[in-house]
C-alpha cells in the first residue's frame, strides 16, 4: 500500500475533495480517485469523508493507493540518455518518437520498458502498474527532460511540487507566424475536445486551469523561435495554447496546419530545462538539455533565410 500525503493550499480551499484530488494527483483519473474515496482510502485529518466534502486551507489529505499488481511489461535494453541519477530518482532526456509508458498499441519500446531494464524493481509504484516511476509526461513526438521516481517518497515529493507550481519546466519551440509581443501569457482552461476525444482544446466545459508563459527568442520569415514556461501541466498544453492564439508549433500533425513539415518527425518542441527541490535532500537541482538535431537544423535553416 502506497501513502500519499497532501496539504490543501488557499487556492484550492472550498473545492470538492474529488476535484482537489484530480488537480493534485498525477496519473490517476478522477473516476479512480472517486473509487478510492468510496472505499475509505482517502481521509482528511484521519477521518473518512465523501467525495463532495469541501476541503479547507491547511487540510491534511491522505490517499492510500494499492500496491501495483504484477504486470507483464518486458524490460528492454533501450539506450537511455540519463542526465542525473541517485537512489531516489533520475532525470532522462527522452528522444522524439518514444512513448513514455505502455498503452494500447504501444506495449514495447516505451520509456518504461527501458527504465525497467535499467532500474529493475527500483521504481515508484504510486502511478500504477503500467506507469512505474512516471511522475509527469511529455508527448511521444516531444523531446526533452523527464524526472522519474525510483522511490515512493521521491514520487510524492515531486508530485507535490508539480501541484504547487514550483516544479520548473521550460520548453523551446518553433511556431508558425510572427508573435508580435516579446513576452505573452496564455491563461486559458484546457479540456477534452467534445468531438475528437484524442484531442484537447481551450474550453470552459469540464476543463482545468492552464497557464503558459511565452518569451520570444528570435523571429524568422513565417516562424517564431520561443521559450515557454509551464505554470500548469495539462495534456498537450503548449501545443493547444499556441494553436489557440494562431501560432501552432511547426511539425505538429494534430494541432497544426494540414500541410505538415514531415521532415521534423513531430512537433518542434523540446523540454530543455527541468528544476525542482530534491524530495529527500531538500536541495534545489536544475538540468538542461540541448534540442535534437532535427530541431537545430530547422532553426539554422530559418536563420540562414534571414541572412539572404
Q: Which residues carry out catalysis?
A: 139
Query: If we measure between CA atoms, which residue out of 213, 229, 212 comes closest to residue 274?
Result: 229
Torsion sign (Cα): 175, 176, 178, 180: negative
User: Which residue spans within 193-256 are E strands per DSSP?
Assistant: 200-202, 211-219, 223-230
Angle at 249 between CA 106 and CA 26, to 5 degrees: 50
47: β partners: 44
User: Which residue spans within 95-222 are E strands per DSSP?
Assistant: 143-149, 168-176, 183-187, 190-192, 200-202, 211-219
H or E element that contains 286: strand 284-288
Establish how many alpha carbons lie within 13 A of residue 244's alpha carbon, considering only the half-sphere containing its beta carbon: 21
Grid cell listed for 179: 508573435
Q: Which residue has 486551469 as its cell numbers?
A: 209
Please, where are the H alpha helices in 149-292? 152-163, 237-244
Task: For residues 228 and 267, give the distance between their C-alpha atoms in angstroms, rounded to a whole number.
Answer: 14
Do 238 and 228 meet the contact criterion of CB atoms below 8 Å apart?
Answer: yes
Amino acid at each position: 500500500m502506497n501513502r500519499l500525503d497532501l496539504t490543501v493550499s488557499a487556492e484550492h480551499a472550498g473545492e470538492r475533495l474529488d476535484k482537489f484530488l484530480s488537480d493534485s494527483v498525477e496519473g490517476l483519473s478522477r473516476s479512480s480517485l472517486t473509487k478510492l474515496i468510496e472505499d475509505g482510502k482517502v481521509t482528511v485529518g484521519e477521518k473518512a469523508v465523501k467525495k463532495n466534502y469541501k476541503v479547507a486551507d491547511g487540510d491534511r489529505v491522505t490517499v492510500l493507493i494499492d500496491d501495483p499488481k504484477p504486470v507483464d511489461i518486458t524490460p528492454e535494453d533501450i539506450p537511455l540518455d540519463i542526465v542525473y541519477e541517485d537512489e531516489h530518482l533520475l532525470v532522462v532526456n527522452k528522444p522524439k518518437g518514444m512513448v513514455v509508458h505502455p498503452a494500447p498499441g504501444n506495449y514495447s519500446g516505451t520509456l518504461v520498458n527501458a527504465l525497467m531494464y535499467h532500474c529493475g524493481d527500483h521504481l515508484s509504484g504510486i502511478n500504477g502498474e503500467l506507469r512505474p516511476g512516471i511522475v509527469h509526461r511529455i508527448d511521444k513526438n516531444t523531446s526533452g527532460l523527464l524526472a522519474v521516481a525510483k522511490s515512493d517518497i521521491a514520487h510524492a515529493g515531486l508530485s507535490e511540487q508539480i501541484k504547487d507550481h514550483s516544479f520548473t519546466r521550460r520548453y523551446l519551440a518553433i511556431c508558425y507566424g510572427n508573435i508580435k509581443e516579446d513576452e505573452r501569457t496564455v491563461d486559458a482552461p484546457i479540456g477534452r475536445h467534445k468531438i475528437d476525444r484524442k484531442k484537447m482544446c481551450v474550453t470552459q466545459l469540464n476543463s482545468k486551469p492552464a497557464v503558459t508563459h511565452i518569451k520570444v527568442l528570435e523571429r524568422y520569415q513565417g516562424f517564431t523561435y520561443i521559450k515557454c514556461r509551464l505554470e500548469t501541466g495539462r495534456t498537450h498544453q503548449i501545443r493547444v495554447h499556441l494553436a489557440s492564439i494562431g501560432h501552432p508549433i511547426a511539425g505538429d500533425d494534430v494541432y497544426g496546419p494540414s500541410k505538415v513539415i514531415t521532415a521534423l518527425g513531430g512537433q518542434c518542441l523540446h523540454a530543455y530545462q527541468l528544476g525542482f527541490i530534491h524530495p529527500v535532500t531538500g536541495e534545489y537541482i536544475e538540468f538542461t538539455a540541448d534540442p535534437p538535431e532535427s530541431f537545430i537544423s530547422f532553426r539554422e535553416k530559418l536563420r540562414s533565410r534571414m541572412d539572404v
